[in-house]
Amino acid sequence: MRLDRFLSGQTAFSRKELTAMIRSGAVTVGGAVIRKPESQIDPEQAVVTLRGEQIAYAAHHYYLLHKPAGVITASRDPKQKTVLDLLRPEDRLPNLFPSGRLDIDTEGLLLITDDGALSHQMLSPKHHVAKYYLARLAEPFREEYTELFRRGMILREGDGEELCQPAECRAVSAHLAVLELHEGKYHQVKRMFAAAGNHVENLLRVGIGELRLPPDLASGSYLHIFNKDVYSALRNSDISEVCAFCAEYYSSYWIKDCK
């Protein structure tokens, strides 16, 4: 791999900036100063430093973000703040994108990565990877929701209709419910509860597969996670485990008097 390409994939500097730094003698490989951007290196074996700091190699990068409300799920936007704007400048690596989407007023777990293959596997309907949401409801949860959602609801959009895949829904408390989805239609959770006669006041994505939103990760903050942890997102959980997780850590996320 070319030295400038290696550094471009591991830092937030532009290729032009990196070329200038390499030629100025700011880069070493194995302790020796290298001034040619086109120099070939073994990315997994070479010890590379930039301005005295060792640059570790990773084929792909993964950030687990606690998306706040009011931020759009996009890589860039000329008018609105995006989830990539929440990253520190040094973490804004090339080719990063949000894997999947959350509506602007929905909070919770969002994976930002440059691994297109993993993102496709996580989002493709044929893989049936579950996404788990905690919904705060305006009206008390009714037991009939469980069977209603499990059968697959028909949602109306204008003059048309669309069928939802079967979904699991369980109560955590009177006004809190966990919903397990295997697809991602527009405003789906809100529309499903609206079709059932209720209203979602707040929505938090708490999990994808076995990957969980860390309870101590503040809204707007993120963690760098590793490949082996990310792939837990491809293994589905039992919804009862997700309900227990929400009851322990998120039952008072929005208000302290949810019962």
What residues make up the domain containing 195?
62-249
How far, in Å, CA of 246 to CA of 160, rounded? 35
Tell whether 256 is covered by a domain.
Answer: no
Same domain, 35 and 121: no
**Residue 259 confidence (pLDDT) above 50:** no
How far, in Å, CA of 193 to CA of 68, rounded? 22
Of 85, 91, 103, 105, which is the active-site residue?
A: 103
The strand order across the sheet containing 27-29 reads 32-33, 27-29, 48-50, 53-54
Same domain, 98 and 12: no
Boundary residue ending a domain (37, 54, 71) = 54
pLDDT band at 257 (very low <50, low <70, confident <90, very high): very low
Using CB atoms within 10 Å of the CB of residue 157, give its burial: 0 to 12 exposed, 13 to 18 middle, 19+ buried.
exposed
Same domain, 22 and 73: no
Average pLDDT over residues 7-32: 94
Domain count, the chain: 2
Q: Which of 124-133, 145-154, 163-172 has the lowest mean pLDDT?
A: 124-133
Averaged pLDDT of the chain: 92
Same domain, 71 and 149: yes
Q: What is the CA radius of gyration of the chain?
A: 22
The domain that contains 219 carries what CATH number?
Answer: 3.30.2350.10
The domain that contains 16 carries what CATH number?
Answer: 3.10.290.10
Q: Is 103 a catalytic residue?
A: yes
Same domain, 80 and 196: yes
pLDDT in tens, 111-126: 999 999 989 888 887 7
